[in-house]
Every structure is written in structure tokens, then in C-alpha cells.
């Protein structure tokens, strides 16, 4: 299988949650052999305005979305079940499996993702590598790329490839807006 790479997909901010200083979020995705996904989230922002949790040991942690957090949602082509991954700049992470829309949530037993960040005065980037569960590795996938950006002044903005009508809802089917072919089809 050749790697499938998609460079710099722009996330859009939900209109009900305008950012304070974050100007843009671009995400790159590579699907590699063995079920590996590599992601790079790049936020254009005055780094001093961004809430970045301090680095902690890379451990599974719930409620990462309460501050700056980057997320990945994965659904097989013709299935209601999906996976949710959360990645924090602290290197903490979470992974869940859902039977359907916000239903049947269980902790996903998975390998710990590799999480690395880099920053300058004008940007923050988070690189993540995960390995999909066996039954997801060879399937065509719909993915949602999302971010919660916490900024100074208690500003929190919600970013995604696509947003449903109404309030931000990353679990909504409309957010699964990027199609990745099955490896055998690539």
C-alpha cells in the first residue's frame, strides 16, 4: 500500500464561537501501512494568547476538551459506529468507541498515540501518530478533524472540517467530512 497523504486541510471556526487571536488551523493527514494515521494540526495564533497546558506524562485522561485540544473522529464507510481520539498539547490523550451517534460510549483499548508539539511566537503545531484498531485498518473511512482552542480571556472556539446547523457538535455526521479510500483501493 502506498501512503495516502492530504496536505493542509483548513478547519473552519464555528460561527457561534469566534476566536480571540487564532487566525487559521490547517491539518495534514497521512494514512500509512499497518493502520497508522499521522496528523499535524497547525494553529496560526499569537502563542501568548493560546492556552497550552503544561507538558505532563503521556497518559489517558478524560475531559481534555475543556481547554486546547485536537481531535480525530473516524467512521467506517457504511457504519454508524465511530471512534473518537483526543490529543492535548500536554501529551495526554483519550480514545473512545461509540456504537452510534453519542450512544454506547466505551473506552477504546488502543496503543498510546505519539504526541509532539512545536511552537513559535506565531504558531502552535501538534503532531500525532496513532494506530487504528485491526478491524478499522483496511476499511474506507470518513474522518472528522476538529479542535477546541482555548485562548486568553476565557475565549473558546470550536473548529472542524464542517459544522452542522446549531451549536458545535463534533459527533454529528456532518463533521465526518474527509473520505479516505480503503488501502486496497488506493
Alpha-carbon radius of gyration of the chain? 16
* Structure confidence at residue 77 as a pLDDT band (50, 70, 90): confident
The full DSSP string for 92-150 is -EEEEEESBTTBS-EE---PPPEEEEEEETTEEEEEEEEE--GGGTTS-EEEEEEEEEE
CA distance 1 to 186: 7
Contact between 132 and 37 under an 8 Å Cβ cutoff? The reply is: yes
Tens of pLDDT, residue by residue over 62-73, are 999 999 999 999
Residue 185 has a pLDDT of: 55
CA 178 to chain centre: 12
* Residue 1 pLDDT exceeds 70: no
* Residue 78 pLDDT exceeds 90: no
Q: Is the pTM of this model over 0.75?
A: yes
Residue 4 has a pLDDT of: 84
Amino acid at each position: 500500500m502506498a501512503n495516502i497523504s492530504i496536505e493542509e486541510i483548513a478547519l473552519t471556526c464555528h460561527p457561534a464561537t469566534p476566536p480571540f487571536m487564532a487566525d487559521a488551523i490547517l491539518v495534514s493527514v497521512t494514512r500509512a501501512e499497518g493502520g497508522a494515521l499521522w496528523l499535524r494540526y497547525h494553529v496560526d495564533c499569537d502563542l501568548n494568547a493560546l492556552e497550552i497546558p503544561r507538558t505532563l506524562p503521556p497518559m489517558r485522561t478524560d475531559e481534555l476538551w475543556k481547554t486546547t485540544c485536537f481531535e480525530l473522529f473516524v467512521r467506517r464507510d457504511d457504519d454508524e459506529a465511530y471512534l473518537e481520539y483526543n490529543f492535548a498539547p500536554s501529551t495526554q490523550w483519550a480514545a473512545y468507541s461509540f456504537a452510534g451517534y453519542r450512544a454506547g460510549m466505551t473506552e477504546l483499548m488502543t496503543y498510546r498515540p505519539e504526541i509532539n508539539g512545536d511552537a513559535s511566537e506565531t504558531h502552535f503545531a501538534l503532531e500525532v501518530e496513532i494506530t487504528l484498531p485491526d478491524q478499522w485498518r483496511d476499511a474506507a473511512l470518513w474522518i472528522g478533524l476538529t479542535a477546541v482552542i482555548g485562548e486568553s480571556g476565557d475565549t473558546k472556539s470550536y473548529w472542524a472540517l464542517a459544522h452542522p446547523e446549531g451549536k458545535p457538535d463534533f459527533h454529528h455526521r456532518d463533521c465526518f467530512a474527509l473520505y479516505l479510500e480503503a488501502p486496497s483501493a488506493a
